[in-house]
Structure 1
Amino acid sequence: MRLTILGGGGFRVPLVYQALLGDRGEGRITSVVLYDTDRGRLGAIGAVLRQQAAKYSDAPAVTETTDLDEALRGADFVFSAIRVGGLEGRTVDERVALDLGVLGQETVGAGGIAYALRTLPVAVGIAQRIAELAPEAWVINFTNPAGMVTEAMIPYLGDRVIGICDSPSGLGRRAALALGLDASTVFYDYAGLNHLGWLRGLQSGGVDRLPELLADSTALGAFEEGRLFGVEWLRSLGSIPNEYLHYYYFARETLAAVQAVEQTRGTFLLEQQSAFYAETARRPDDALELWQKTRAERESTYMVESRAVADAGERDERDMSAGGYEQVALSLMRAIAHNERASLILNVRNRGTLRHLDDDAVVEVPCTVDANGARPVTVSQFTDHQAGLVCAVKAVERSTIEAATTGSRAAAVRAFAWHPLIDSVTAAHQLLDGYADRLPELAPFRR
């Protein structure tokens, strides 16, 4: 089995390879192709992977290429994990928004729209090449904003493209463990869009245990989301939101916290990862050690502003060691390749699952996965509050896709203006102009 990773020079690629090294099942991945447009980053990550493989006699073979067509031919699975504009682009996404008094997080609000506007044309082009060169391949989309990118690729790849994120499964696992449940046996009634969903039920032994969790102040306050949102607010909601909803529920406080720090998250990561790649070029024999040290620092500072607002303290060590999106991806691959039935929360077409959205809207819901792909299962319907927020953001997503694929400035302005975290049409114009002035990919949107 051959796996191609697009964005193969990305910092998190070794997490995927480590998961593959731990897979001892029959028919596992035996060949990994790393594709990237940056040969220096590609070489650094290749060095990390070779050192990861040193203890394994049967590690998947790794090859590196800057030729997209070469990378795609013969692929059984394609992981799309690209970052158009790099971390330099992310710093612009954040700074332009913050200078206008708007949150610039990379997938939420103005920053997410700017990121999508430059990413979607590239993602669509990749989808077209996959359809041409590897039509039987299954595409697993890691590229953010994951739901929006997946929806834009579907016209070319159909249901063979599936978006993934580890946030919902991580939330479900933490909630189950807070009640002492075996997380692997619990059904998570979760629904929404990528980075915009709620856990509405914890089904264990035919009983919904979520009410019990919401009633238990000690258990509820013992994990990340309980500390992040507060026990009282979670009880008021009657559900547990994805951690990214902190940007909506505590928008003023989070914006103030981000504005108060000396550097944005994007600037921190740019400096940190630039140092990693430069040091790895000088000390290739220490590539794995350098990567591990950098990763530990990266993970410990994740969503640090939101945790500071909530006085949530340090991240739980169990969250950082339990495995993230790479484990979701491995489970998804095995289920498809070997017809091993699995239940995973994924980004797929709605197909009537949530009545407030049309069938083709990409949603993030529990799915049954086997050799035929992923099919959404029945979940509870949205409350009015949840439906209102999801429908508003879905309209933003679709206007962003329209703008990115047609070049329409009007559609781009609508996307910014309609977003719940942007409160002004004037600000929408200013945001688009600011991004168009500083991001070469968005120059066509200039007035």
Structure 2
Amino acid sequence: MKIAVIGGGSSYTPELIEGIILRADQFKVDEIVLVDIEAGKEKLEIVGALAKRMIQKSGLPIKVELTFNRIKAITNADFVLTQFRVGGLDARANDERIPLKYDVIGQETVGPGGFAKAIRTIPVILDICDEIEQYSKDAWLINFTNPAGMVTEAVHKYTNVKVIGLCNVPVNMKQMAANILEVDRDDLNISFSGLNHLVYATKVFVGGKDKMNTLIERIAEGRNMNMRNIHDAPWDKEFLQALQALPCPYHRYYYMMDEMLIEEKEAAELRGTRAEQVKVIEKALFKTYSNPNLDVKPKELEERGGALYSEAAISLITSIVTNDHAIHTVNVPNNGTIPNLPDDVVIEVSCVVNSEGPQPIQVGTLPSEINGLIQQVKAFEQLTIEAAVTGDKGKALLALTTNPFVPSSKVAKLLLQDLLETNQDYLPQFHK
């Protein structure tokens, strides 16, 4: 088995390597190829050396190769994992800061920041898919690159590649819910449905007993149900009880927009945006990775975010390889799973995964209290994908105007001009 990792110089790679080592008794990997761009040479060499030390310590006969040749990495791969960031953390910092100039939330995967990241990323992922179709047409593409839902939908609509979008939010929500309910994660059954970074837990059961109200009460009392990169604004108990579903951590940007915007502005002024904070964290991380005696994933990686990434990615690969029919929450084409949404859009939903890939568990019609927000955000995503592929500025303007964070078409126009100008080096489709 050959696994190609595009964005191999990422600080997340050691967690991925750890996951492969821990699952060695379930499936055999022969070769891991870490590929990156020339600008990421130093990081790739540092991460690659650590990966080789980790494999050597494990005693597994796995070959680890580093390359800047993407086609070489993709050729004859069984799985291609994508975890790249077009423009790096500098581009992310712009995605976070530019919206704040217009009193709009700046976040890397949702809102105008997610729009900017999508229009930079989608043309690149489509180029990668063209290479997969030519050099490894039977490979599975496991996409972890954000905004994962939009990137996966673009692949689904414009290529013939077998793609599954992956996010670590659902598995983290399940782990946190298990901690709050004081049960083992394997004993907890949660049904997820919605969109990437807009997914809801709609059912929570332990041993056949409904635990949704218990979980809501404990979260409202202050128990943690959040990601490291998101301000921990407390949920209102009456709101959660009325909703009768658990919003994911990213829902705070939609349901507590005023509070989150104030916090973002203060943080940007005092501590820097999340990207600027991550730059500092990554500098220390890569210094740690450079230690020639280090041969395990360092605990400091937890500060970077992305917890349980390897758990999500490697367990998904395990289900495909072993045909174990385990349940995973992934990004897949709707195809009637949620009747409120078009068949050809990508949703995030609980699926049974076997050797043929993910089989979505039927959700049924979403209730109005959930459906309204999902419909609006999905319209934004569809317009963003079309703009990213075509370079149509009219579609781009409509996408931003449709986004819940943007208060008017006037603000959308100003944001679009600013984002296109700032990102012009990565947006040839808009500057033909």
Relative to the length of structure 1, the TM-score reads: 0.88
Partner of 2:24: 24
Task: Give the secondary-structure state (helix, strand or coil) at the position aligned to 2:58.
Answer: coil
Partner of 1:329: 313
**Superposition deviation, residue 141 in structure 1:** 0.5
Partner of 1:152: 154
Task: Give the secondary-structure state (helix, strand or coil) at the position aligned to 1:229.
Answer: coil
Match of 1:396 among 366, 380, 399: 380
CA–CA distance in structure 2, aligned partners of residues 106 and 212 of structure 1:
32
Match of 1:250 among 247, 256, 259: 256
- Work out whether 1:370 is the aligned partner of 2:379: no
- Give the residue type in structure 1 aligned to 2:319: A
Superposed, 1:229-378 pairs within 5 Å as 229-261=235-267, 262=270, 263-274=272-283, 276-277=285-286, 279=287, 283-285=290-292, 292=298, 294-299=300-305, 324-378=308-362
Aligned residues: 421
**Superposition deviation, residue 213 in structure 1:** 3.1
**Superposition deviation, residue 25 in structure 1:** 1.9
- Give the stretch that moved more between structures: 121-130 or 264-273: 264-273
Task: Give the secondary-structure state (helix, strand or coil) at the position aligned to 2:310.
Answer: helix
- Give the residue type in structure 1 aligned to 2:224: F
Identity %: 34
- Work out whether 1:382 is the aligned partner of 2:366: yes
- Give the residue type in structure 2 aligned to 1:340: D
Match of 1:441 among 412, 420, 426: 426
- Give the stretch that moved more between structures: 146-155 or 202-211: 202-211
Partner of 1:223: 224
- Contact 1:221-1:227 at 8 Å conserved across structures: no
CA–CA distance in structure 2, aligned partners of residues 151 and 217 of structure 1:
35
Unaligned runs of 5+ in 1: 303-322
**Superposition deviation, residue 377 in structure 1:** 0.4
CA–CA distance in structure 1, aligned partners of residues 110 and 134 of structure 2:
33
Please list the CA deviations of residues 130-152 of structure 1 after superposition, one character each: whole Å capped at 9, or x if unmatched.
11111111110000000100000
Change (3 A) 1:147 1:156: same
Change (3 A) 1:184 1:220: farther
Unaligned runs of 5+ in 2: 227-231
CA–CA distance in structure 1, aligned partners of residues 355 and 181 of structure 2:
33
Change (3 A) 1:35 1:159: closer
**Superposition deviation, residue 85 in structure 1:** 0.7
Change (3 A) 1:218 1:152: closer
Q: Report the RMSD for the aligned CA atoms in angstroms.
A: 2.3
**Superposition deviation, residue 233 in structure 1:** 2.8
Partner of 1:76: 78
CA–CA distance in structure 1, aligned partners of residues 343 and 85 of structure 2:
29
- Contact 2:139-2:162 at 8 Å conserved across structures: yes
- Give the residue type in structure 2 aligned to 1:412: A
Superposed, 1:91-240 pairs within 5 Å as 91-155=93-157, 157-158=159-160, 160-214=162-216, 216-217=217-218, 221-224=222-225, 228-240=234-246
- Contact 2:177-2:225 at 8 Å conserved across structures: no
- Contact 1:44-1:280 at 8 Å conserved across structures: no
CA–CA distance in structure 2, aligned partners of residues 442 and 209 of structure 1:
47
CA–CA distance in structure 2, aligned partners of residues 354 and 44 of structure 1:
44
Relative to the length of structure 2, the TM-score reads: 0.91
**Superposition deviation, residue 408 in structure 1:** 0.2
- Give the residue type in structure 2 aligned to 1:271: V
**Superposition deviation, residue 62 in structure 1:** 0.8
CA–CA distance in structure 2, aligned partners of residues 166 and 102 of structure 1:
26
Task: Give the secondary-structure state (helix, strand or coil) at the position aligned to 1:285.
Answer: coil
Match of 1:60 among 59, 62, 67: 62
- Contact 2:281-2:303 at 8 Å conserved across structures: no
CA–CA distance in structure 2, aligned partners of residues 206 and 219 of structure 1:
23
CA–CA distance in structure 2, aligned partners of residues 334 and 32 of structure 1:
16
**Superposition deviation, residue 55 in structure 1:** 2.0
**Superposition deviation, residue 33 in structure 1:** 0.4
Task: Give the secondary-structure state (helix, strand or coil) at the position aligned to 2:57.
Answer: coil
**Superposition deviation, residue 287 in structure 1:** 6.0
- Give the residue type in structure 1 aligned to 2:292: D
Task: Give the secondary-structure state (helix, strand or coil) at the position aligned to 1:382.
Answer: coil
Task: Give the secondary-structure state (helix, strand or coil) at the position aligned to 2:362.
Answer: coil
- Contact 1:335-1:370 at 8 Å conserved across structures: yes
CA–CA distance in structure 2, aligned partners of residues 158 and 351 of structure 1:
16
- Contact 1:433-1:446 at 8 Å conserved across structures: no
Change (3 A) 1:358 1:220: farther
- Give the residue type in structure 2 aligned to 1:266: A
CA–CA distance in structure 2, aligned partners of residues 420 and 445 of structure 1:
24
Task: Give the secondary-structure state (helix, strand or coil) at the position aligned to 1:355.
Answer: coil
